[in-house]
Structure 1
């Protein structure tokens, strides 16, 4: 039988210790279910922390056995054979569980009471108040980034860039998005996330939020408002000019941090079709324009003492928060990881990504250079791109990659066996060929 018709080799059998680690993960998930089902507060706490311990030990153990005990290097074999990473039954079940959790978290938090109460002690020590559904979510979110970040460190340990980038998102999620906001509440200051800026954290420049921060935070509140405005309109253009959008999307942002760690097994699922590219352009930029419009309307309405627009601008902000801030970024953005890949929100919905992307495409020095003469068309780079970019076609032509959607994660370069791709902050003159090719592609795609 010709090689083209031979069946793919079977997936390697799991080692006994690997099975044991996965069993611990399953036992941890069972422990969370027992926490939900048990009404006794003492047993709730026992089940809950035992579950977190089993999940942590099992995940770390499996990651070490899977990647730490293998030779350094990224192997992509078996991704489309495994049910959990090829939209099989396991992927659909995982997606259903994640989606269901977000729906309950946002709109039916009372069903999570038995998971929230065991965290009261931890919440009191960190924030000086009982836990709520958002503290539960923050704990789960940070734990996921930490555990799957450890997996990424073992998987990409041969790449210094990937190691530093992974440590960076772990640090910002743990320190800036979890511990620091909690400590602010402990000292009776407004809760504030220093690693999130407008337009992603869209309400930080709304008149009501600005007034609340200044009134309740005094000098610190004024600094928070200044920090948010300066990061959005001064630091973001400067940093993007030198480093592209990667400085935020792949190094700082909590959404990107979860995508790069917990979402790493699903990065190959991103749609590479031209139809997906069309939808990307048609959705993300109108969302960016919408939040600009809402912010402007809110300030205009405030300037006229609510005479000009009344409650219309406020209702627009509420609907934006419901459809974009909750359903798109949470339910769809994370719940659909196992089906559509890890960057659905970043690619199609995030207004910060749109803002950074426009700066990166038209203003930044960042690019990914390619050496077409060395490309062997293996497809590893395109397969690894979580933003749906067909990297291979650029590599084959030797064209530099300057795309608004590229988050500069560098995994395409890391998985390339020939060193064809290189992340650079080069002179803008070197971007001319890329801009010409991209403009031609855009005209063809949108026509």
Structure 2
């Protein structure tokens, strides 16, 4: 390592440490202005200001303590709400006294006189009327039968009391984020641009200082102790990077209130692009785009002997910067519906959610155009383009997930498991996710068009919530990126991406794409298999002179780029004969497989 590279690495590590320290430099004070900035309606402002009154104007040195107190006071308010507005057995007995002992015909009007006229009583009466409207006119043989229905109704009402009169879990999380964001003050808030340059800016400079000297090396794979490196060979550096990535995604998805200082850090960029303060998703998108850009330069330098690899890398950088980052942010500034136009269902699993359809259909021609674009791309574009070019047109040239795997994840591509067992697990998992998202989307559309939120007793909202948590967040984010140093760079693409499964089915059975092999030239060096990030044992195909036609292959072409003998070639030809003819090598010589 040259002196310039050592300096660059030192600068990058210093900038990374400073970026983490940013989370602990600001202080927090819940002022009147913070309340007004975080809450929109006057009624909500009044309620929250009352419940958080003990915190007002108190200074907190740590984000954790600040959020812990918000949680404590809001939950205390919830306990009071529950005790005041929850229906009791006594309330049900009062309702039952409005009916005779026998020959009961239920009427919601009789409920009105059963409870007092207080705020709590009026709420309970209205809820009972709403929840028992389906019982109107129904006849009961005795009070016991009616009591059973009313007690079940009581349980359903009480389960939603907190959401209606207090603070539900989602509301508490949103308030913690908004209040923490607006209550923050200190060096990061006062010198935002300076800290942005000292952390992210300096980190980019350090990374480039480390990467650019590699231009002096020969291009291509070096096999220089990749399995012995503490970073790329599941060593201590790799584990540390993996745990940091996992921690980042856990905070991003489930505890964004603890990363408000990072959001403040990129406020200047967010204000320029979309006119608003940065959210956790803007910070993530900005960091994600920088990672693909900087590590893309590394990829271009490393594979500069391959025109295919260079153009492919330029492509993923372009689509990430323009389509995934800049265009959606600019659309927000123009008050237009914002969408990553290259993010296709089912990877974009929220595309058919009711709120997204409503947003697109109610925002004029641009929104309707985006809706039609998404549908056409999913149903027509994907199978047609995949027929001609295989899934590589998307997974290796356009997709942001693939772009991050190819750039940031490139040092770990050799860690993918090539065993038959891993292949079997892969096929079961990725196709199960595809089935999951198809069923969830069907349920979502069913609810949108019928208004019913249940299918055979299962809530469609619960179904989409489970998918979003398990697949959209935990799998795609925490595991999909956090496991790079443990399982290779395409964990999500290989085991979890439903779009990759959809593209793979088309590629496997009806496509012109294949990787052809010239087995006579293969020297069994194993470079192709080692560096296949999708876990394909490419060498076994090459040794048999058999074309590689696999649903999982993303057509990245690295196997061809690292082959010293030119054995492998990516081709788009007539589908006939694309599987080729394998040969069998045994004690009796070489035979064609029949």
What TM-score do you get using the length of structure 1 for normalisation?
0.92
Per-residue deviation, 1:266: 0.5
Q: Residue 291 of structure 2 contacts residue 404 of structure 2 at CA under 8 Å; is this kept in 1?
A: yes
- Taking the TM superposition and a 5 Å limit, the aligned residue runs for 1:198-209 are 198-209=345-356
> SS of the counterpart of 1:368?
strand
Per-residue deviation, 1:308: 5.6
- Taking the TM superposition and a 5 Å limit, the aligned residue runs for 1:113-128 are 113-128=260-275
Per-residue deviation, 1:100: 0.1
What is the aligned partner in structure 1 of residue 438 from structure 2? 292
Q: Return the index of the structure with the highest Cα Rg.
A: 2
What is the aligned partner in structure 2 of residue 366 from structure 1? 513
Q: Distance in 1 between matches of 2:448 and 2:346?
A: 19
Per-residue deviation, 1:235: 0.8
Q: Distance in 2 between matches of 1:432 and 1:368?
A: 10
Per-residue deviation, 1:73: 2.9
More helix by share: 1
Is 1:32 matched up with 2:180? Answer: no
Is 1:350 matched up with 2:497? Answer: yes
Number of aligned positions between the proteins: 422
Q: Residue 337 of structure 2 contacts residue 366 of structure 2 at CA under 8 Å; is this kept in 1?
A: no
Q: 2:237 aligns with which of 90, 97, 120?
A: 90
Q: 1:235 aligns with which of 367, 381, 385?
A: 381
Q: Residue 237 of structure 1 contacts residue 359 of structure 1 at CA under 8 Å; is this kept in 2?
A: yes
RMSD: 1.6
Per-residue deviation, residues 179-215 of structure 1 (Å, max 9, x unmatched):
0000110011122110101000011123432122111
> SS of the counterpart of 2:288?
helix
Per-residue deviation, 1:275: 0.8
> SS of the counterpart of 1:131?
coil
Per-residue deviation, residues 32-60 of structure 1 (Å, max 9, x unmatched):
12322222223454223211222111111
Is 1:282 matched up with 2:282? Answer: no
Q: Distance in 1 between matches of 2:354 and 2:475?
A: 24
Q: 1:182 aligns with which of 329, 333, 341?
A: 329
Per-residue deviation, residues 339-379 of structure 1 (Å, max 9, x unmatched):
10110000000000000000000011100000000000000
What is the aligned partner in structure 2 of residue 54 from structure 1? 202
> Where has structure 1 moved over 4 Å in runs of 4 or more?
434-437
Per-residue deviation, residues 4-52 of structure 1 (Å, max 9, x unmatched):
xxxxxxxxxx222221111111111122123222222234542232112
Is 1:271 matched up with 2:417? Answer: yes
> SS of the counterpart of 2:202?
helix
Per-residue deviation, residues 359-403 of structure 1 (Å, max 9, x unmatched):
000011100000000000000000110000000000000000000
Change (3 A) 1:379 1:176: same
Q: Residue 35 of structure 1 contacts residue 44 of structure 1 at CA under 8 Å; is this kept in 2?
A: no
Q: 1:258 aligns with which of 390, 400, 404?
A: 404
Q: Residue 549 of structure 2 contacts residue 579 of structure 2 at CA under 8 Å; is this kept in 1?
A: no
Change (3 A) 1:197 1:51: same
> SS of the counterpart of 1:429?
coil
Change (3 A) 1:257 1:178: same
What is the aligned partner in structure 2 of residue 210 from structure 1? 357
